[in-house]
Amino acid sequence: MMHCFSGSIKQALEAIDLGCIISIPTTAYYSKGRQKTIEKIPIENIVTETDAPFLSPFPERRTDRNEPLNIKYLVEKISEIKNLSFEKVSGITEENLRNFFKF
């Protein structure tokens, strides 16, 4: 797993080729670079994370603690980028995580 991935699209695709899964943090809610990565990599290789209490999806409120509940904003953003429903993205990324941890 590429935890809190912040690399390039090329690096993400190379990691996927090596069997890695890409963990996208909530900062992708506002990060155009991370949004481009989401656009270019298959949903089957994405999991979501908050990295709470760090990396809030709201850069203008840097004093805010990131909370697990904020994962919904990331799922909404992935849904928008991938043109999939919130439920579909939530289900696929959960299944990806279950497959990774084998449970």
Q: Each residue of 73-84: pLDDT tens digit?
A: 999 999 999 999
Mean of the pLDDT values across residues 42-62?
89
What's this model's pTM, rounded to 2 decimal places? 0.92
For 21, residues 6+ apart whose C-beta sits below 8 A from its C-beta are: 1, 2, 45, 46, 47, 96, 100
Opening angle at CA 58, ends 6 and 52, nearest 5: 65
Per-chain mean pLDDT for the chain: 94
pLDDT band at 62; cut points 50, 70, 90: low
Residue 64 has pLDDT above 90, yes or no: no
Q: Which CATH fold topology does 9-101 show? A: TIM Barrel (3.20.20)
Mean of the pLDDT values across residues 14-21?
98
